[in-house]
Amino acid sequence: MNLLRVRTLVTKEVSEALRDRLYLTLAFFLPILLMLVFTYGMTSNIDNVGVVIVDEDQTAASREYTQRFLSTRHFKQVEVTHAPTRADAALPAYQARLLIWVGSGFERQLQNGQTAKVSVQIDGAFTEPARTIGGYVEAINAQANQDLRQRYAAAQWGARSSLTRQVTHPVQLQTRYLYNPELRSVAMIAPALMMMILMMCPPLLIAVSVVREKESGSIYNIASSTVTRVEFLLGKLIPVVAIGMVNGFMLWALVAFWFDVPFRGHALSFTLALLLYVVATSSMGLLVSAAVKTQQAAIIITTMTAVIASMQFAGLFAPLETADPVNQFISHLFPAADFLRVIRGIYVRGAGVEVFWPEMLSMAAYGAIALTLAHTLFHKRTAT
Amino acid sequence: MSLRRWLTQVSALMTKEWKQLYRDRALLSFVIFIFTLDILLASGAPALDLKQTPIGIIDRDHSALSRELIYKLPAQQFTVVPMADQDQAVSHALERGELRGVLTIPHGFEKDLLRAQSPALQLVVDASDANLGFLLSSYTERILFTLSGELVGGQAAAQGRSVVLPQIDIQSRTRFNPSLTESWYATLSELLTMVTVACILLPAAALVREKERGTVEQLLVSPLSPLQIVLAKAFAMTSVVLLGSLVAVGLVMHQLVGVPFVGSPWVFFSLIALYAITSSGLGVLASTFARNSGQVGLIVVLLVMPIIMLSGTWSLRESMPDWLQNMVAFSPMTYFVDIAYGVLLKGSDMAVLWPKALKMSLLGLAFWALGVYRFQRQFR
């Protein structure tokens, strides 16, 4: 390997990129734009969800109960054209995602110490919001029950009696939220999106730049030159890894300063993880470029692989432990799951290399394997 | 020029596109993959739920009641990992994400519980995953209150006292997906994503490639109008997508995964065709802004990623800030998400869906008009 030739190739790549303004702009703006749009769109708060309330009881107790739902930011009452009139009536499908039905006799039953039933319907078409909505409903109802028992027990046995304390507060639970005390979803999403964006952008850049040479025929210049395959691949890899690193630091700045997610880790651990990941993903881009003939195929395969690998198989939305064995196996085909664990660990929890060295090693292995495979598959002369 | 001749020309050009796709084996295998195996894989997607979530327990009491409490923690939600009372091991496990939370039962738990002294348990939650953290803490709180209430109740009943309290009991019913089967949601969401990507990217890339190689000049000197060229490209790819979704919905989703098909297949497939044409208009428009395939790739990614992420399958539209809601109103997928879930799971018909279908078609018309105008202008 001749380092001088590698340097020449890198210079060629850089000046090519510099002359293609749109390409250059997108190479640096695409990651930032993706980060902004995704974070705003996916902070996965469940707010302003339309709810239809049918209150047949129309008493102080029923109004107090339904008001508990409406006073949170999660739910918003909607007026519907045809209010349901029976307890088994349907949820109006496109106007609300939740229906709460308080039947008559609600207040009377509670005053007599009986169980009052409330029926609830949740739109389950989107499963994750449906689960969260169900969770909110349960939590609000639990609080209502707690207040209700407190009042009832105090009226029956006196507010300070030991029986009252026992039935209303059998235990206390002191909860402490580590790493993200305000439970902001942005702290969960924004650092994790680095995984996805860096899975997409560097491979896209590298695959397109290699396949473009194949398609335009300029690769024959390489074929007839003394440049070896390793040198050619390194000449492509180095500029893209450099761009990927710059992207990584830009994203880091965006997450830390724009979205205000405190960086708890060590800069060196972060840089090392970033480097290993960008090398691994760029090498996968090289692998794709060795396998395909057209830029069209290169673009669609790199972007789709990135979307599939990072959204479905990395554990972005739900922990990987709950996935089925096949999906867990597939997640091991990409470095995304490793980097996600590492980035959440380093960025949000402030852990270091000493905790995440197995993942770091594994990312290095992905890079090495992908590069070796790309080297094996790549030919200077494309088959005609 | 007669309509028949016009159509013959378009179909001849469409045949050329099909052949080109057929010969590009890498692209062809990928198209086959996204409509079959990929949808199947999406059916095993993990769900955000407490499912054997690993939680560490430090029992400082070692009493009969503390052991009973631990024993009664539901095994479906929690995997209980007994931890020794050592800070270092606990914090290492939390940092690595091997434990999602740690519950500490205090010394004197049993004594305090029976004397109505409200013993204080401590729960430390890893909140780096905010949603799971919230689920964990709120569920643990409820289950602890219930369990310790039962423990106290058991003791009280043994002493011959029984306590009846009023209670509000929620009877919850989930509509359209009664047991919240993740695969019903996930496979359809995956299909919509793939249809969107394919419909925008395939025509855009096909158009730019001809432009880049100069073969579009040959097409333009042939007796074909620019409109015919664009239509042939877009319709060829649309037909591939339509065939793909037929296989994906009919075979993979309905037969293999068991997703119900409540509504009418005719409504579903005519609307998916409408959506495919609408989206390919966006692809045509995108192609007019790029000179080479590298550029078109980046432009399409720039366009497609926000569309698939913000159109309602990943996040609820009503929860977004207003400015974002106004922006996603220009995404045809926004309307199609409602349509697809509506027909497939809710059994909606055109009487309910026509406003969404209309808005989608208007967007499609605008994309096509602008796209064809810009395409023609490039060659004057």
Q: What is the ipTM of this complex?
A: 0.85
Q: Three-class SS string for A98-112?
A: EEEEECCCHHHHHHC
Taking chain B (380 residues) in runs of 10, the rounded mean pLDDT of each run is 86 91 85 90 75 88 87 84 83 86 90 84 87 84 79 70 79 87 90 91 85 80 85 88 93 91 91 94 91 77 85 82 88 94 89 91 95 83
Domain boundaries, chain B: 3-45+182-378, 53-158
Kindly determine whether residue A300 and residue B30, on different chains, have CB atoms separated by under 8 Å. Answer: yes
Kindly determine whether residue A181 and residue B129, on different chains, have CB atoms separated by under 8 Å. Answer: no
Closest CA to A129 of A317, A335, A279, A342: A317
B8-22 pLDDT, tens per residue? 999 999 999 899 889
Q: What's the pLDDT score for residue A384? A: 47
Residue in A171, A303, A312 closest to B113 by CB: A171
**A94 interfaces chain B, CB cutoff of 8 Å:** yes
Chain B contact probe: residue of A86, A91, A126, A214 with most B CBs at under 10 A: A126
Kindly determine whether residue A118 and residue B168, on different chains, have CB atoms separated by under 8 Å. Answer: yes
| Three-state DSSP state, A351 | coil
Taking only residues 168 to 197 of chain A, the set having a beta carbon closer than 8 angstroms to any beta carbon of chain B reads 169-181, 183-185, 187-188
Strands of the sheet with A172-178, listed across from one edge: A172-178, B120-126, B101-105, B53-59, B78-82
Chain A partners of B47 at a C-beta cutoff of 8 Å? 127-128, 131, 318, 322
Q: What's the pLDDT score for residue A365? A: 95
Give the A:B interface size as CB pairs under 8 Å: 404
Supply B372's token pair.
Answer: 């064809």
Distance from CA of A214 to the nearest CA of B (A): 13
Taking only residues 96 to 115 of chain A, the set having a beta carbon closer than 8 angstroms to any beta carbon of chain B reads 97, 109-115
Tell me the CB-side half-sphere exposure of residue A291, using CA atoms within 13 A. 20
Asked if residues B55 and B79 have their Cβ atoms less than 8 Å apart, the reply is yes
**A26 interfaces chain B, CB cutoff of 8 Å:** yes
- B53-158: CATH class: alpha beta
Q: Write down the H helix ranges in A180-320.
A: 185-216, 219-223, 229-253, 267-291, 295-312
| Full set of structural domains in chain A with CATH | 3-43+185-383 (no CATH), 49-168 (3.40.1710.10)
Q: Which residues contact A40 (CB under 8 A, 6 or more apart)?
A: B320, B321, B324
Kindly determine whether residue B156 and residue A166, on different chains, have CB atoms separated by under 8 Å. Answer: yes
Q: Name the residue of chain B whose CA is nearest to A135's CA.
A: B135
Please give the single-letter amino acid code of residue B209: R
Supply B103's token pair.
Answer: 């519950």
Give the C-alpha distances (Å, rounded to integers) separating B270 from B227, B274, B297, B329, B359: 23, 6, 29, 22, 15
DSSP B311-354: SSSSS-GGGS-HHHHHHHTT-HHHHHHHHHHIIIII---HHHHH
Distance from CA of A363 to the nearest CA of B (A): 16
Taking chain A (384 residues) in runs of 10, the rounded mean pLDDT of each run is 86 84 79 86 79 89 93 85 61 80 91 90 89 88 88 81 74 86 85 92 88 83 83 91 95 94 92 95 92 80 83 79 79 90 90 87 94 86 54
Kindly determine whether residue A204 and residue B185, on different chains, have CB atoms separated by under 8 Å. Answer: no
Supply A32's token pair.
Answer: 């930032």
Taking only residues 81 to 140 of chain B, the set having a beta carbon closer than 8 angstroms to any beta carbon of chain A reads 92, 94-97, 100, 113, 115-116, 118-135, 137-140
DSSP code for B160: T
DSSP code for B199: H
| Three-state DSSP state, B54 | strand
Taking only residues 313 to 372 of chain B, the set having a beta carbon closer than 8 angstroms to any beta carbon of chain A reads 313-316, 318-321, 324, 338, 341-342, 345-346, 348, 352
**B276 interfaces chain A, CB cutoff of 8 Å:** no
The number of beta carbons lying within 10 Å of the beta carbon of residue B54 is 16
Q: Name the residue of chain B whose CA is nearest to A24's CA.
A: B295
